[in-house]
Amino acid sequence: MNLYDRIPNNVNLSEDKKLQRALEKWLPNYLDWWREMGPDGFQEKDVYLRTAISVEPDGWANFDFVKMPDYRWGIFLKPAEPDAKIGFGDNYGEAAYQEVPGEFRNSLRRIIVTQGDTEPASVEQQRELGKTCPSLYDLRNLFQVNVEEGRHLWAMVYLLQRYFGRDGRDEADALLERRSGNPDKPRILEAFNQPCDDWLNFFCFTMFTDRDGKYQLSALAESGFEPLARTCQFMLTEEAHHMFVGDTGLNRVVKRTAQLMKEGDVRDLGGIPLDIIQKHINFWFSYSLDLFGGEISSNSADFFAAGLKGRYKEREQYEDHIVAEQNFTMKVVEDGQLKDREVAMRNALNEVLRTEYIRDCEKGLARWNKALADEGMSERLFLPNSRFHRHLGEYAGHHFDIEGNLISAGEFEQRQAEWLPTMADREYVRSLMHPVVEPGKIANWIAPPATGIKGKPFEFEYVRL
């Protein structure tokens, strides 16, 4: 079969000789990377996976058994809209960019590389997880997320190779060379260098860190650079499932914990105590907040002015798309105290996007708290204040308690074991992680899902081991 028949696409790949040449060089390296850094121990197994085959809303995906290295990673963009316009910024209303505008070339490349780098990074972080899966259903979901992150890497590599010439091709190569957590060649963003080596971390990651992805992609889906906007619009279709995995995964852990709480001591019964779940929420939520960038950011202003990166649902939920006059009031640390500061709105757009994200996360918390209530529990989970445990932006370098009050470094040091997973917590969670691979069976620390995948029951053999 022709190589290009193996790559489902709607970018006219069979006619595009230049792109073919670039992909011909990159593809074997990608497959080497996948074998080296993709899910360890399962490469030859048949997995019931969804594959994107078109952009039709009612039939975009195909479900079937496939070995992961044979997955048909494709290149899909939402179809172009005739007469697309730039939807915001200084050039609002002008024709959208179909090629990279020279003056924004570096900014655009940086945006695409930063997004692209997160995709393979998460596959690397999750590489060992299959060995301790709580069920075949969960194992399949892990691999689904992994192959689609692989496809998202392809999506960004397509943009680099198609629109950025030589330096784009170099960046595409570098995306396969960095490694999550490697001190010499780390991934670009810090949350993507954190280990994700047990399933509680995995569910938190897909809940909180993939959800950052949703907001970044949504902001880029508004972009005046049309190929980027259309790529991100389609990626969001797949991303929804990743967040579903995290959201429902945590829901099932919380539910099981609540059931065990009624029976006795959760630890004695082999479950995950609520306080350990809370600490993991605190950890991943705070790291994911950093991914939005500094609270006050000239980059965010420049990207908006240039029409490259908009706000969440820019076209749908705002009327003023120029945003030259508005201000935003935020809390900053000044002379050792929290004070209000007024900032030009364009410089506060990271914070605006972060606020949308936090609102979305709160809905997840409400669902988990409902699971607690449904089991008759009065305990509740919560999100930490957004100043807590930050490594980037206005609050980095200061210390805050879980409610966002300024405290000393000493006090933080003293109390952090209350708020963040300790070595002992992590070891305890790890001690529960034993593989359960019999169809229909599930680990003791998590409840089974309400339904299976694509109409199949939970008992279905989602991965043939």
Q: By the criterion CB under 5 A, which residues form the site for Fe ion?
A: 119, 149, 152, 210, 239, 242
Between 202 and 445, name the residue whose CB sits nearer to Fe ion: 202
Between 296 and 453, name the residue whose CB sits nearer to Fe ion: 453
Degrees, nearest 5: CA angle 142-372-273: 65
Q: Which residues contact 140 (CB under 8 A, 6 or more apart)?
A: 47, 48, 49, 453, 462, 463
Between 149 and 290, name the residue whose CB sits nearer to Fe ion: 149
**3-state class (DSSP) for residue 463:** strand
Alpha helices of 264-309 — where are they, by DSSP H?
274-290, 298-305
CB of 242 to Fe ion, least distance (A): 4
CB of 289 to Fe ion, least distance (A): 17
CB of 451 to Fe ion, least distance (A): 21
Alpha helices of 59-209 — where are they, by DSSP H?
105-125, 136-163, 165-174, 199-204
CB of 361 to Fe ion, least distance (A): 15
Q: What share of the chain is helix, strand, coil (3-state, %, to 5)?
A: 50, 10, 40
CB of 243 to Fe ion, least distance (A): 8
Degrees, nearest 5: CA angle 104-110-112: 100
Give, rounded to a whole angstrom, the gap between the first and last alpha carbons of the chain.
28
Task: Show the tokens assigned to 306.
Answer: 């240039």
Between 242 and 387, name the residue whose CB sits nearer to Fe ion: 242
Between 228 and 261, name the residue whose CB sits nearer to Fe ion: 228
DSSP letter at 465?
A: -
Between 356 and 394, name the residue whose CB sits nearer to Fe ion: 356
CB of 374 to Fe ion, least distance (A): 28
111: alpha, beta or left? (left if phi > 0; alpha if psi -120 to 50) = alpha
